[in-house]
């Protein structure tokens, strides 16, 4: 039966929604006079769904028919779900029309595997060519590469896309063998390595690439995950790793039950740690170790690091370098710049920080302001940890007492 | 002393002139004469083009490019009472440009944060503005904001919609940014009637609404977060929120 375009849209966007990546950032402005479309360095969110996630790109599958049978995936061949496919022209037209109404920054194109990896990639290329060559569209296009596609096709894709990705999904080969029997870590990394080498040779700089790791579907620790991310960043393979709290969509004996709630707080802490790797000059083994393999859900990773390295504190904010300042819990890059700017004119006291709208909620336990240290809480790990995680007001306290037998209050789960 | 000016940039320059040459010591600056009786003396700044121009040239000469642009940007924050802070900023700037970097100074910090608010509104609107397609293929968007964003948005869209004709209509301020083959820039708009929409408009609005609904993940639902990132204020013309 032929489906109308609205039904197709419903099916194919629903199938694509578990991909976390939706960023449109990292590309310099590239508009051309007399043409359509531009990219914005910082990326632009065009709306936010009811789950609070940013919508920047039209994220759809070209088709959700698929040959593969990955245990965690909603579109696996053994699932009995409605299937649909856009024609390349149909999808290109929707993209252009959404773009002109300012609904989106561009297209996030992914697909189930039909017939073969090469055939699927050729169909995706057709969409890209209509957009880039026929409509002269310069907006953002993210393409999810199909593992196993030929080098020639991947080369063509990298010429037309703004960013490409391939999802590793499971952080170890063992988990992959168990849950995604058609994939191996090598087969997933293959298109990324190809894309990097091709673009490095052709344009002297690798195309921006990203991947996604599922958190909570398999037994890997936060240490394993951060180590993997860190290696991928170091090899200049990836610009971004996304973490996706596992949402059960299939009943399988090897996966958490369908009723399991996604570990959203763990996902959040991993993102914070990832930020520390990319923007704060931390290495993964400073944050975690094989002796302490998991992040503390009750405090952010930087605070966790600081509590384990109290010998480096307190830090005098009037003297510390930018690199030292951004290692203070609660002080971000912006606050560090404000401090550096303001202390040129006077020695800063604690109240000066508040006046500059710098939050000292966490930082106050770790800093000296003009030689002064706050007095209430001594510089000991447990004391500061307690002070940071204690309920703030009487109302909070009452609630905690009432919910004493509710486990979520103790474990800190959301 | 209370100074009154008409809210325009030119007239504010007159105000600066008067403060310097008549050695006025204002305690408050208002855009309109107060209606209630006040003990304070009221001084209304008159429009004199030559004097305004003189101040304009002096500011342009003495102020760094960044500080000069900040003054212009602050005037786009037209619902904020920024006048006393801006006057102090200009007075200090004539003494020393370096001191304008001192964010410990209250008015410097306040002006910086107004400017930051302005830019964050611009950035949000670059995402949240919604166009409809008209019968002749031109694009039309309605805009409502506490800040005067037209100049910034016009510039942003003239890059990405370079080959399109489009209009951004600031409803409250009765201004419109026009980008067409003949003209690009801001015009005042006295009366306006929405032309007929294109045939396809309904189809793409419906497709967008379908998309918006089906990309939501139910088990992660968090409407409080959604309200933080798309405040209700912005949703007036976003068709995915109109039921």
Distance CA A293, CA A223 (A): 5
* DSSP label at residue A318: T
* DSSP label at residue B46: P
**Structure tokens given for B114:** 């107004």
Match 């996630």 to its residue by tokens.
Answer: A53
- pLDDT above 80: residue B37: no
What's residue B147's pLDDT? 97
Most confident segment among A134-143, A377-386, B193-202:
A134-143
- Asked if A101 lies within 8 A of B139 by C-beta distance, the reply is yes
Q: Are residues A167 and A306 in the same domain?
A: no
Instruction: Name the domain boundary from B85, B120, B155.
Output: B120
What's residue A403's pLDDT? 41
Q: Are residues B14 and B98 in the same domain?
A: yes
Q: What digits encode the pLDDT tens for the residues A160-199?
A: 999 999 888 888 888 888 888 888 888 888 899 999 999 9
Q: How confident is the model at residue A71 (pLDDT cuts 50, 70, 90)?
A: confident
Q: How confident is the model at residue B242 (pLDDT cuts 50, 70, 90)?
A: confident
Q: Are residues B143 and B96 in the same domain?
A: no
Dihedral sign from CA coordinates of A237, A238, A242, A248: negative
Nearest-Cα residue of chain A relative to residue B109: A356
- Asked if A5 lies within 8 A of B238 by C-beta distance, the reply is no
Helix axes A88-100, B201-214, angle to 10 degrees: 100
What's residue A236's pLDDT? 72
**Structure tokens given for A58:** 């039209």
Q: What is the mean pLDDT of residues A102-124?
A: 96
Q: Are residues B109 and B42 in the same domain?
A: yes
By residue count, chain B amounts to 243
Instruction: Name the domain boundary from A214, A241, A262.
Output: A262
Q: How confident is the model at residue A399 (pLDDT cuts 50, 70, 90)?
A: very low
Q: What is the mean pLDDT of residues B221-227?
A: 91
The complex scores an ipTM of 0.93
Distance CA A291, CA A269 (A): 18
Q: Are residues A253 and A312 in the same domain?
A: no
Instruction: Name the domain boundary from B92, B120, B148.
Output: B120
- Asked if B163 lies within 8 A of A94 by C-beta distance, the reply is no
Nearest-Cα residue of chain B relative to residue A45: B127
Q: What is the mean pLDDT of residues A61-80?
A: 91
Q: Are residues A102 and A210 in the same domain?
A: yes
Which residue range forms the structural domain that includes residue A27?
A: 5-262
What's residue B175's pLDDT? 95
What percent of chain A has a predicted confidence (pLDDT) above 70? 94
Total domain count for chain B? 2
Q: Are residues A325 and A403 in the same domain?
A: yes
Q: Are residues B174 and B230 in the same domain?
A: yes
- pLDDT above 80: residue A394: no
Q: Are residues B136 and B218 in the same domain?
A: yes
- Of A206 and A119, the structure prediction assigns the larger pLDDT to A119
Q: Are residues A305 and A256 in the same domain?
A: no
Instruction: Name the domain boundary from B67, B101, B120.
Output: B120
CATH code: domain of residue A21: 3.20.20.70
Q: Are residues B210 and B167 in the same domain?
A: yes
Q: Are residues A99 and A176 in the same domain?
A: yes
Contact, B165 vs B137, CB < 8 A?
yes
What's residue A2's pLDDT? 74
- Give domain status of residue A49, yes or no: yes
Mean pLDDT of chain A: 89
Q: How confident is the model at residue A128 (pLDDT cuts 50, 70, 90)?
A: very high
DSSP string, B5-16: --S-HHHHHHHH
Q: How confident is the model at residue B56 (pLDDT cuts 50, 70, 90)?
A: very high
B contacts of A247 (beta carbons < 8 Å) = 217, 219-220
Distance CA A286, CA A281 (A): 10
- Give domain status of residue A105, yes or no: yes
Which residue range forms the structural domain that includes residue B71?
A: 2-120
Total domain count for chain A? 2
Q: Are residues B98 and B20 in the same domain?
A: yes
Q: Are residues B104 and B183 in the same domain?
A: no
Residue A364 CA to its chain's centroid (Å): 30
- Closest listed residue to residue A255, CA positions, set A294, A214, A227: A214
Q: What digits encode the pLDDT tens for the residues B99-118?
A: 999 999 999 999 999 999 99
What's residue A56's pLDDT? 95
Who's near A143: CB < 8 A, 6+ residues apart? A109, A110, A124, A128, A157, A161, A163, A164, A165
User: Which member of B106, B157, B210 has the closest CB to residue A10?
Assistant: B210
Q: Are residues A306 and A252 in the same domain?
A: no
- Give domain status of residue A320, yes or no: yes
Instruction: Name the domain boundary from A238, A262, A286.
Output: A262
Distance CA A119, CA A99 (A): 27
- Asked if A9 lies within 8 A of B126 by C-beta distance, the reply is no
- Of A334 and A71, the structure prediction assigns the larger pLDDT to A334
Tell which of B101, B216, B238 to mutate to test the A interface (max A CBs under 10 Å).
B216
Q: What digits encode the pLDDT tens for the residues A208-267?
A: 899 999 998 888 999 999 999 999 998 878 889 999 898 888 888 788 888 788 888 999
Q: Are residues B113 and B162 in the same domain?
A: no
Three-state DSSP class for residue B105: coil
Q: Are residues B133 and B234 in the same domain?
A: yes
- pLDDT above 50: residue A400: no
């Amino acid at each position: 039966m032929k489906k109308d375009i609205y039904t197709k849209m419903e099916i194919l966007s629903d199938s694509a929604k578990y991909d976390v990546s939706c960023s449109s950032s990292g590309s310099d402005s590239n508009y051309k006079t007399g043409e359509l479309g531009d990219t914005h360095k910082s990326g632009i969110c065009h709306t936010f769904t009811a789950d609070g996630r940013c919508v920047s790109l039209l994220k759809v599958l070209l088709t959700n028919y698929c040959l593969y049978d990955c245990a965690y995936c909603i579109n696996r061949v053994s699932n009995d779900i409605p299937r649909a496919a856009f024609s390349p022209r149909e999808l290109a037209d929707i993209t252009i029309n959404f773009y002109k109404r300012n609904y989106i920054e561009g297209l996030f194109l992914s697909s189930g595997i039909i017939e073969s990896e090469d055939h699927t990639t050729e169909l995706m290329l057709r969409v890209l060519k209509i957009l880039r060559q026929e409509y002269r569209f310069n907006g953002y296009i993210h393409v999810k590469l199909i593992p196993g596609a030929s080098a020639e096709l991947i080369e063509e894709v990298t010429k037309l896309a703004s960013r490409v990705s391939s999802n590793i999904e499971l952080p170890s080969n063992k988990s992959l063998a168990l849950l995604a029997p058609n994939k191996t870590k090598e087969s997933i990394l293959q298109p990324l390595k190809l894309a990097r080498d091709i673009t490095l040779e052709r344009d002297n700089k690798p195309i921006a690439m990203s991947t996604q790791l599922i958190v909570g579907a398999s037994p890997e620790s936060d240490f394993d995950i951060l180590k993997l991310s860190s290696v991928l960043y170091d090899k200049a393979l990836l610009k971004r790793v996304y973490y996706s709290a596992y949402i059960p969509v299939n009943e399988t004996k090897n996966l958490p039950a369908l009723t399991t709630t996604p570990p959203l707080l763990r996902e959040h802490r991993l993102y914070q740690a990832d930020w520390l790797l990319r923007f704060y000059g931390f290495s993964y083994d400073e944050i975690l170790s094989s002796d302490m393999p998991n992040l503390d859900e009750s405090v952010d990773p930087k605070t966790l690091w600081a509590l384990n390295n109290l010998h480096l504190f307190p830090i005098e904010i009037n003297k510390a370098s930018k690199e030292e300042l951004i290692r203070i819990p609660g002080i971000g890059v912006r606050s560090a710049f404000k401090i550096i700017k303001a202390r040129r004119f006077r020695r800063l006291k604690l109240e000066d920080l508040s006046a500059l709208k710098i939050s000292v909620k966490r930082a106050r336990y770790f800093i000296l302001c003009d030689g002064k240290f706050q007095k209430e809480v001594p510089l000991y790990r447990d004391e500061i940890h307690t002070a940071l995680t204690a309920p703030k007001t009487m109302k909070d306290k009452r609630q905690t007492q009432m919910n004493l037998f509710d486990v979520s209050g103790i474990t800190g789960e959301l | 002393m209370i100074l009154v000016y008409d809210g325009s940039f030119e007239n504010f320059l007159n105000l600066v002139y008067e403060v310097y040459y008549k050695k006025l010591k204002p305690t408050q600056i208002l855009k309109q004469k107060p209606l209630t009786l006040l003990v304070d003396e009221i001084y209304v700044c008159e429009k004199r083009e030559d004097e305004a121009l003189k101040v304009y040239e002096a500011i342009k000469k003495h102020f760094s490019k960044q500080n000069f642009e900040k003054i212009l940007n602050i005037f786009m924050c037209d619902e904020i009472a920024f006048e006393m802070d801006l006057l102090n900023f200009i007075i200090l700037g004539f003494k020393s440009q370096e001191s304008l970097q001192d964010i410990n100074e209250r008015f410097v910090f306040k002006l910086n944060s107004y400017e930051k608010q302005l830019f964050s509104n611009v950035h949000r609107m670059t995402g949240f503005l919604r166009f409809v397609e008209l019968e002749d293929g031109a694009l039309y968007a309605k805009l409502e904001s506490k800040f005067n964003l037209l100049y910034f948005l016009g510039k942003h869209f003239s890059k990405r919609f370079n080959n399109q004709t489009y209009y951004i209509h600031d409803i409250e301020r009765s201004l419109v940014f026009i980008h067409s083959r003949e003209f690009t820039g801001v015009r005042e708009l006295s009366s306006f009637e929405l032309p007929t929409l294109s045939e396809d408009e309904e189809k793409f609005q419906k497709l967008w609404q379908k998309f918006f609904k089906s990309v939501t993940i139910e088990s992660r639902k968090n409407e409080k977060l959604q309200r933080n990132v798309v405040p209700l204020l912005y949703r007036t013309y976003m068709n995915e929120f109109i039921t």
